[in-house]
């Protein structure tokens, strides 16, 4: 198994596991007309391959998961490394049969393997599970999964031994169909189970005798059946699971389908989504019951939203965790941050990565927060920048307050205690510590630490010269005012 590389953390080969799942993901995806490998294209906010891995991981039987990678192999590996699956490399892509051949050392130790297409993201763990059960019950050398989609054109067709037996004698690809076979409506979904010994014994018989000169895994149906091995079809009702992303149009249609399904899943669990067709919600997103999502909201990545929240229109939330009873008003952009219960955010607030927003905090209009901790009840209502800061409970941040966190070389921390009041338009030059219960006068530039309970004012003293403006006007009468005065007089 020397060509197998372990991916990373979560998925470890099961001790004594008898089943491997091999996901074919080496193809370029020529019909996508993209420079990016097919497996890397995203639907529902996740790569095609990641969807297939997620379904494979959920089956009950312990199974080791392998992906066959080839085109842009390093990038594909990196994109799904977090799942911990193993990889096999198919350096040159010479067909689905050739891809399985590339994995033959890796699979040799398993009694059975399941083969999935890395470009069919709707495949469900339930269907994989049923295929696996059927394969075992039938004692077959090869079990393929079939369905009857409304439009069978383009798919491999199933040739059965007799109409009412499970047995299959061949799968015939579209371009190889004999005249009488165009009428066959039952198609190959591209998911198979094999008894590994039978597969490996006969795999060498695949021949590139087709218009693309490739080795087709589908030809194993005929090869095994002709060799007297049992080949059967497991027929599913849900033909949609076979939908692949072969073109951008198909990819976009799959994305819409997945997002509709995600919105549906959330609504079924008690989330109100008004005009769900306008919202973009990634597959992994979780939302608690009684939360209301307004039109044109985007919830992306691993975002978790608690219950009883309200997310208003045009807000985009990516990889954030929100507690319960949080309101996010219109047009906020929140990324990689946590927001505790009862917080009131926006409109027009921006959280850059690394914010920890406490309970009942209010962050309002045009406030940008980056890598900052705002304790319970902090208020920053308007036009502030809080970067690399820690702000104690119930402190009030006035309009236009700025933490000057960057000296051109390094970032520095600003600490402000609890129960303090930072006057409007103050600049706090970090590194800086301001104690609890302090007042900072409006318009201050604070460069030195402020002890608890102090008042700090750092601004030029006001000079007032009485009569100065009137004297100036008398000397240089402003033209416009003269005109308007004369107009009023006339
Ligand atoms: C395949 C089946 C077809 C079936 C359809 C269902 C074959 C010959 N045909 O056609 O009967 O109806 O799936 O969707 O298998 N791949 C590799 N290495 C290669 C070639 C392909 O890893 O050398 C991967 C691709 O990246 C893809 C998967 O195998 O993820 C399927 O290949 P694809 O070319 O999409 O096959 P289809 O034309 O869809
Ligand atoms: Ca395909």
For residue 117, the CA-to-ligand 2 centroid distance in Å is 7
| Separation CA 276–CA 311 (nearest Å) | 13
Question: Which residue's alpha carbon is at the smallest distance from atom 12 of ligand 1?
Answer: 155
Residue with tokens 């008003």, as numbered in its chain: 329
The first and second tokens of residue 268, run together, are 């079924």
Residue nearest to atom 26 of ligand 1 (CA): 27
Q: Compute the C-alpha angle 395/398/403, nearest 5°.
A: 85
Euclidean distance between CA atoms 225 and 22, whole angstroms: 22
Measured by CA distance, the residue closest to atom 11 of ligand 1 is: 156
Q: Calculate the CA 177 to chain-centre distance.
A: 40
Structure tokens at 22: 């091999």
pLDDT on residue 29: 85
Q: How far is the CA of 246 from the centre of ligand 1 (A)?
A: 10
Q: With beta carbons less than 8 A apart as the criterion, state whether 98 and 90 touch.
A: yes
CB atoms within 10 A of CB 12: 10
217 in Cβ contact with 95 (< 8 Å): yes
The CATH homologous superfamily to which domain 4-242 belongs is Spore Coat Polysaccharide Biosynthesis Protein SpsA; Chain A (3.90.550.10)
In tens digits, the chain (490 residues) has pLDDT values of 333 444 444 444 444 459 999 999 999 888 899 999 999 999 999 999 999 999 999 999 899 999 999 999 999 999 999 999 999 999 999 999 999 999 999 999 999 999 999 999 999 999 999 999 999 999 999 999 999 999 999 999 999 988 888 999 999 999 999 999 999 999 999 999 999 999 999 999 999 999 999 999 999 999 999 999 999 999 999 899 999 898 999 999 999 999 999 999 999 999 999 999 999 999 999 999 999 999 999 999 999 999 999 999 999 999 999 999 999 999 999 999 999 999 999 999 999 999 999 999 999 999 999 999 999 999 999 999 999 999 999 999 999 999 999 999 999 999 999 999 999 999 999 999 999 999 999 999 999 999 999 999 999 999 999 999 999 999 999 887 555 555 555 5
The pLDDT of residue 17 is 57
Count of CB atoms situated within 10 Å of the CB of 307: 15
**What residues line ligand 1, using a CB cutoff of 6 Å?**
24-27, 38, 68, 90, 93-96, 98-99, 117-120, 155-156, 171, 173, 187-190, 216-218, 242, 244
Give the nearest ligand 1 atom to 246 CA.
Answer: 35
Question: Ligand 2 centroid vs 99 CA: distance in angstroms?
Answer: 14
Secondary structure (3-state) at 385: strand
The H helix count followed by the E strand count for the chain is 10, 42
Q: Which of 21, 22, 24 to mutate to test the pocket of ligand 1 (most atoms within 8 A of CB)?
A: 24
Every domain range in the chain assigned CATH 3.90.550.10: 4-242
Residue 198 is predicted with a pLDDT of 98
The minimum-distance atom of ligand 1 relative to the CA of 93 is 23
Give distance in angstroms: CA of 246 to centre of ligand 2: 6
Reply yes or no on whether 382 is catalytic: yes
Q: What angle do CA 5, 85, 31 make, to 5 degrees?
A: 95
Alpha helices, DSSP H only, in 344-478? 468-475
Residue nearest to atom 19 of ligand 1 (CA): 95
As given in the structure block, the two tokens for residue 305 are: 């939203």
Which residue bears the tokens 């102090």?
A: 454
Task: State the DSSP code for 421.
Answer: E
C-alpha 155 to ligand 2 mean position (Å): 9
Locate the ligand 1 atom nearest the alpha carbon of residue 244 and give its number.
Answer: 14
What's 272-456's CATH class? mainly beta
Q: Give yes or no for a cis peptide into 118 (omega within 30° of 0).
A: no
- Name residue 362's beta-bridge partners: 344, 379
By most ligand atoms within 8 Å of CB, the mutation choice from 47, 95, 96, 186 for ligand 1 is 96
d(CA 216, CA 117): 13
User: Do 248 and 266 touch, CB atoms closer than 8 A?
Assistant: no
Q: Compute the distance between CA of residue 103 and CA of residue 452 in angstroms, rounded to an integer.
A: 67
Q: Where in the chain is the domain with CATH 2.160.10.10?
A: 272-456
Pocket test for ligand 1, best of 91, 123, 190 (most atoms within 8 A of CB): 190
CA separation for the pair 308, 291 (Å, rounded) = 4
Catalytic residue among 82, 202, 302, 382: 382
Neighbours of 356 (CB within 10 A): 17
CA pair distance 295, 274, nearest whole angstrom: 6
CA distance 432 to 445: 12
Residue-level length of the chain: 490
């Amino acid at each position: 198994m020397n060509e197998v590389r372990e991916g990373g953390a979560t998925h470890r080969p099961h001790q004594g596991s008898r089943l491997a799942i091999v996901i074919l993901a080496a193809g370029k995806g020529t019909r996508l007309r993209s420079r990016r490998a097919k497996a890397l294209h995203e639907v529902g906010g996740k790569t095609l391959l990641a969807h297939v891995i997620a379904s494979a991981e959920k089956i009950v039987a312990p199974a080791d998961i392998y992906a066959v990678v080839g085109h842009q192999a390093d990038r594909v590996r990196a994109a799904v490394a977090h799942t911990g699956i193993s990889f096999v490399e198919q350096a040159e892509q010479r067909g689905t049969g050739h891809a399985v051949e590339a994995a033959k050392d890796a699979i040799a130790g398993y009694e059975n393997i399941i083969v999935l297409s890395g470009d069919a993201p709707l495949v469900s763990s339930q269907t994989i599970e049923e295929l696996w059960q059927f394969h075992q019950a039938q004692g077959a050398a090869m079990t393929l999964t079939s369905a009857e989609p409304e439009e069978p054109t383009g798919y491999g067709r199933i040739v059965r031994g007799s109409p009412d037996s499970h047995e299959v004698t061949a799968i015939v690809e579209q371009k190889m169909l004999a005249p009488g076979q165009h009428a066959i409506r039952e198609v190959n979904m591209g998911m198979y189970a094999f008894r590994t010994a039978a597969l490996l014994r006969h795999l060498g018989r695949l021949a590139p005798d087709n218009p693309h000169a490739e080795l087709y895994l589908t030809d194993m149906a005929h090869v095994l059946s002709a060799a007297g091995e049992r080949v059967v079809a497991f027929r599913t009702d849900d033909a949609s699971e076979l939908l692949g992303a072969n073109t951008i149009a198909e990819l976009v249609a799959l994305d819409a389908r997945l997002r509709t399904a995600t919105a549906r899943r959330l609504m079924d669990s008690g989330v109100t989504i008004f005009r769900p067709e306008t919202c973009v919600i990634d597959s992994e997103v979780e939302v608690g019951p009684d939360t209301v999502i307004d039109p044109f909201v985007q919830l992306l990545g691993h975002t978790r939203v608690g219950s009883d929240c309200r997310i208003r229109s045009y807000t985009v939330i990516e990889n954030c965790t929100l507690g319960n009873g949080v309101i996010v008003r219109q047009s906020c952009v929140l990324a990689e941050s946590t927001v505790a219960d009862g917080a009131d955010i926006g409109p027009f607030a921006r959280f850059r990565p690394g914010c920890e927003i406490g309970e009942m905090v209010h962050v309002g209009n045009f406030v940008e927060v980056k890598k900052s901790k705002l304790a319970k009840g902090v208020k920053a209502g308007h036009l502030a920048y809080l970067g690399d800061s820690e702000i104690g409970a119930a402190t009030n941040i006035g309009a236009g307050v700025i933490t000057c966190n960057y000296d051109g070389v390094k970032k520095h921390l600003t600490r402000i205690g609890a129960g303090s009041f930072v006057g409007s338009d103050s600049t706090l030059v970090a590194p800086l510590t301001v104690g609890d219960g302090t007042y900072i006068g409006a318009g201050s530039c604070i460069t030195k630490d402020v002890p608890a309970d102090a008042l700090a004012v750092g601004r030029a003293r006001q000079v007032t010269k009485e009569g100065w403006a009137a004297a100036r006007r008398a000397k240089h009468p402003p033209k416009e005012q003269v005109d308007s005065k004369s107009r009023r007089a006339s």
